[in-house]
Amino acid sequence: MKKVAFVLAVILVALPVFGGAIYDFKTVVDKGAGGLVGKASIEGSKVRLDITDGDDVLLRDGNVMISTDGGKTFTILDQKKKTYYELDLQQLLSSLGSVMNSMGGMFKMSFQNHNVKASAPTAGETIEGYPTTKYVVDSSYDLAIEVFGRKNVTSVTSKTETWSTDKVSSEFVTFVQQKGLKTGLEELDRFIEKEAKGVKGFPLRQIVTTTNTQGKKAETTRTTMTVTSIKETNVPDSSFAIPAGYKEVDSPLAGIESMMKQ
């Protein structure tokens, strides 16, 4: 579930966009699943993500994600099987939070000792021919999980380094975008909103280093996102249409979604 939530967070498009652009993206996670490689095509509020290398959790190699409402909902195409299914990312994440909140005494989750510190922006290196500003945000919190009376606390620290340019519109951002993400967990939502503030422009590179510590055991994960080959251009409407002959199927997350609605 954590991996699914991570992938949804990585590909979530929170705000409508205007204009046209095409660029390549790559997200690499040094431990476990979650990386994505592909091409983003944007025209107005329409978004298309062609996945070259999937995360093998939610998206497979060759899948295509299409949205016509700025990323609020997606149609996932399987080009090999010629099938598609609908996915509401925001609703899924919010429902997950609601399920956790509704489990009462069986399962309790809380986020304590929230702390976010943003360093003053500095001049960054030139990336893909664009001047950048570097933003560094350090954050930490304690995640307390209690299951049937047994409580475990994990301390989480994270350092996010972002190289962003103001020469490309921020309206073209289509992934690694936490702004506007709602999980349905009030404490976590407030923390995410606070952490997302401050970074301006279009991210060309982002490195997130996260350490989870439980007792004497600590594990560090490094996630690197890069954007390359940016081209501002018109994208034809046909790129955002479901091809003829494709059959609609149930979402692979249908079981989870059903559980959340109960």
Quick: pLDDT tens for 27-61: 998 876 678 899 999 998 899 999 999 877 778 89
To which residue do tokens 């509704």 refer? Answer: 102
Strand, coil or helix: 85: strand
The number of domains in the chain is 1
221, pLDDT greater than 60:
yes
Quote the pTM value.
Answer: 0.78
- The string of pLDDT tens digits covering residues 7-24 is 544 444 333 334 689 999
User: Domain range spanning residue 93?
Assistant: 2-261
Q: What is the pLDDT of residue 104?
A: 54
Q: What is the pLDDT of residue 252?
A: 79
DSSP annotation of 131: -
To which residue do tokens 């490195």 refer? Answer: 207
In this structure, the strands spanning 83-87 and 247-248 are parallel
What mean pLDDT value characterizes the chain? 80
The residue type at 193: E
Q: Which of 109, 99, 55 is nearest to 252 (CA)?
A: 55
Residues in the chain, how many? 262
138, pLDDT greater than 70:
yes
Q: Do residues 202 and 173 lie in contact, with contact meaning Cβ atoms separated by under 8 Å? A: yes
